[in-house]
Structure 1
Amino acid sequence: MVKDFATASVDADEGEVRAKFWRTAKKAARHIPFMDEVVAGYFCALDKNTPLRAKAILLAALGYFVLPTDTIPDFILGFGFTDDMAVLTAALAAVRTHMTPAHRLAAREALVSD
């Protein structure tokens, strides 16, 4: 029962992140120097083979990233994405072992296609 609730919660978070990720990523790309890792983290979070704990960490961080009104609102030039970078850096460090070459390749391809 607890696992079903956790899975349902991650699925709901995944849907929200999917809906807002690319719009926010395009705005943030010039402010976040490690955007390729962020996008690889996005693909890792969507991978069915990624463990639930790692997915939850990534989706929470990516959810924070896509929220325009977080600790430091994203529209504040020069500072808006600094809190997002801190959260993303911590999340990516926590799940780095689950990010595969396939996630990184998908990220490079996605970033080139824009």
Structure 2
Amino acid sequence: MRKEKQHEIELENFNPDQAIKENKKQFSEKKYMAKLLKYAKKIGIQVSYYSLLLFYAFKSPETPKTAKLTIAGALGYLILPIDLIPDALPAVGFADDAAVIFRALYSVTSSIDDTMKYQAHTRMKKLFGKNYDMDEIDNKFKV
């Protein structure tokens, strides 16, 4: 019981922005965007769009701390150079990344708003151009 109370206090005092600043070496907006740009076509429209939704949700001051922790973990996993399944493996290399992104997205769905959807949609149009087709996107996450 004491550990739960300590965890609650730590969560209450947790500052996601400060944590990111302190851990910039492991996680940064620049690293995330660089990896997304490099691998967007390989990981596909769906995973790219959903990861952008998570990214914009993380940046929003309206997103609850618990959701930001989930998002930071998922996006952190996406940019880590070491994965459960190496990204270099054809066809399955990004399966673990996709699973982490999907799981995180569905656990923070209530934190995703229309502004975030629009931001992700706009970035996707820049990344994929005419190849960007929202048919792969779940209706509840479309603009």
Q: Give the one of 52, 57, 60 matched to 1:39.
A: 52
Residue 69 of structure 1 corresponds to: 82
Q: Which has the larger radius of gyration?
A: 2
For residue 95 of structure 1, report the CA deviation from its aligned partner: 0.2
CA shift for structure 1 position 32? 3.1
Find out whether 1:17 has 2:23 as its counterpart: no
Q: Which amino acid aligns with 2:32?
A: F
1:12–1:111 Cα change, 3 Å: farther
**What code does the residue aligned with 1:32 have?**
G
Note if 1:54 corresponds to 2:64.
Answer: no
Q: Normalization by structure 2: what TM-score?
A: 0.69
Q: Which runs of 5 or more structure 1 residues have no equivalent in the other structure?
A: none
CA offset at residue 27 of structure 1? 2.9
Which structure has more RCO (C-alpha within 8 Å, separation ≥ 6)? 1
2:70–2:104 contact (8 Å) kept in structure 1: yes
Q: CA deviation at 1:33?
A: 3.7
**Compared CA separation, residues 69 and 96, structure 1 to 2 (3 A):** same
Identity of aligned residues (%): 24
Give CA-to-partner distance per residue, 1:61-86, whole Å, 9 cap, x none.
00000112111121222221100001
